Amino acid sequence: MTKLGIVRHGLTEWNMEGRAQGSSDIPLHEQGIKEAEMLAERLKEEDWDLLYSSPLLRAKQTADFISKKLGGLEVVTDERIRETGGGEIEGTTEAERVEKWGTGWRELDLGREQSGQVTKRGVEFVEELLEKHPGKNILMVTHGSFIRHLLKELTPMNEESEPLKNTSITHLLLDDSKWSCGLYNCTKHLEIN
Which residues form the catalytic set?
9, 83
Query: 101: exposed, middle or buried (C-beta count within 10 Å: 0-12, 13-18, 19+)?
Result: middle
DSSP H or E stretch at residue 174: strand 169-175
Distances (CA, A) of 145 to 8, 44, 133, 192: 10, 26, 25, 27
**Which helix H or strand E contains 75, and what residues bound it?**
strand 75-77
Q: What is the DSSP string of 132-161?
A: HSTT-EEEEEE-HHHHHHHHHHH-TT----
Q: Note the helical H segments in the chain.
A: 13-17, 30-43, 57-69, 94-101, 115-132, 144-154
Q: Are the beta carbons of 8 and 144 closer than 8 angstroms?
A: yes
Could you tell me which of 58, 46, 29 has the C-alpha nearest to residue 139?
Answer: 46
